[in-house]
Amino acid sequence: MNQKTAVKQLNTLKKLTPKTLRLAAEWPKKYQVLIATILSAQTKDETTIKISKILFKKYPSMKALSNAKQKTLEKIIRPVNYHKTKSKHIIATAKVLVGKKIPKTIEELIKLPGVGRKVANVYLAEAEKADTIGVDTHIKRISQKLGWTKNRHPHKIERDLEKIFPKKYWSSINYIVVMFGRTIGKNRRKEDEVLKKIRQSKNL
C-alpha cells in the first residue's frame, strides 16, 4: 500500500459519510472529552453520548466527579458496557486530576485509571488537536479490509498507519473511519461491497 493510494482511500471514506453525526469524544470541555472517551470503550457512540449528557449535568467538573459515590455513578452509566469498572476508574482518575491539568502526552495519560492507548490517542486528537491515531474496532476492521495493515494488535495497527499516512492526516483518521463504520458499516455486507470498490478503483 503506497501513501498516495491510502490518502485517496481515506478521502473517499470521508466523502461517503454524513457530516451530521458526532463522535462520543466530541465535547466542549477537556474533562468531558476524557471521561466520555473512557466511557466509550466497547460501547456505541449513541449510548455514550446520551449517558455522558446525564453524567456531565450532574457532575459539571472534575472536582464534582472526584466526590461522586461509586454506586450513584454506576446507576447513571449502567447502559454503558463494563459500567462498574468504568465507574471506579472515572472516580479514581478524577481524584488524580483535581486541581491539575490533564496530561498532554500518551505516556502520562496511560498512567490514569481506565486510560489505555486508544483512549489517550482519541483524547489528544480531539482535545489537543494532536497528531495521534486512536485505534478502535472500526479502525481495526476497516484498516485490515483496505489493506492498510495486516496486524490485529491495536498498537501495531497504529504504527502501520503512522507509516502509511502523512502526519497531518493522523488526527482525522479515527473520526473519518469511525463515521464510516457507524453508518455504512451498520450493514457489513454493504461495507464490504463499498470497500471492495474502493480497493479496486483505478482512480485511486
pLDDT digits (tens, 9 = 90+) for 125-161: 999 999 999 999 899 999 999 999 999 999 999 999 9
Active site residue 53: no
Cβ burial, residue 186 (10 Å; 0-12/13-18/19+) = exposed
CA atoms in the 13 A half-sphere facing the CB of 73: 23
Q: Single out the catalytic residue among 100, 111, 118, 150.
A: 118
Distance CA 177, CA 136 (A): 10
Instruction: Summarize the confidence of residues 94-121 as an average pLDDT.
Output: 95
* pLDDT score at 35: 97
Write the single-letter amino acid at 100. K
Q: What is the pLDDT of residue 3?
A: 93
Mean pLDDT (the chain) is 93
pLDDT tens digits along 79-89: 999 999 999 99
Q: Domain span at residue 118?
A: 30-127
Can you tell me the distance from the alpha carbon of 34 to that of 134, in angstroms, rounded to the nearest whole number?
13
Radius of gyration from C-alpha coordinates of the chain: 18
Residue 24 has pLDDT above 90, yes or no: no
115 plus 37 within the same structural domain: yes
Distance CA 99, CA 83 (A): 26
Q: Does position 204 have pLDDT exceeding 60, yes or no?
A: no
> Given this model, what pLDDT does residue 25 score?
86
CATH code (residue 188): 1.10.1670
Residue 105 and residue 139 share a domain: no
Of 127, 157, 174, the domain-final residue: 127
| Pair 144, 104 in one domain | no
Mark whether 35 and 17 lie in a shared domain: no
Cα 49 to Cα 2, 22, 138, 175, distances in angstroms: 36, 9, 18, 15
What per-residue confidence (pLDDT) applies to 106? 95
What whole-number distance in Å separates Cα of residue 130 and Cα of residue 125? 5
pLDDT digits (tens, 9 = 90+) for 151-185: 999 999 999 999 999 999 999 998 899 999 989 98
Q: Last residue of a domain, which of 127, 148, 170?
A: 127
Q: Which residues contact 162 (CB under 8 A, 6 or more apart)?
A: 133, 170
Q: In 3-state terms, what secondary structure has residue 67? A: coil
Q: Does the pLDDT at position 203 exceed 70? A: no
d(CA 179, CA 166): 20
Q: What is the mean pLDDT of residues 99-111?
A: 96
Q: Which three cell numbers stand for residue 124?
A: 489528544
Q: Which three cell numbers stand for residue 22?
A: 458526532
My answer on whether 39 and 8 are in the same domain is: no
For residue 202, the model assigns a pLDDT of 66
Given a cut of 80, whether residue 19 has pLDDT beyond it is no
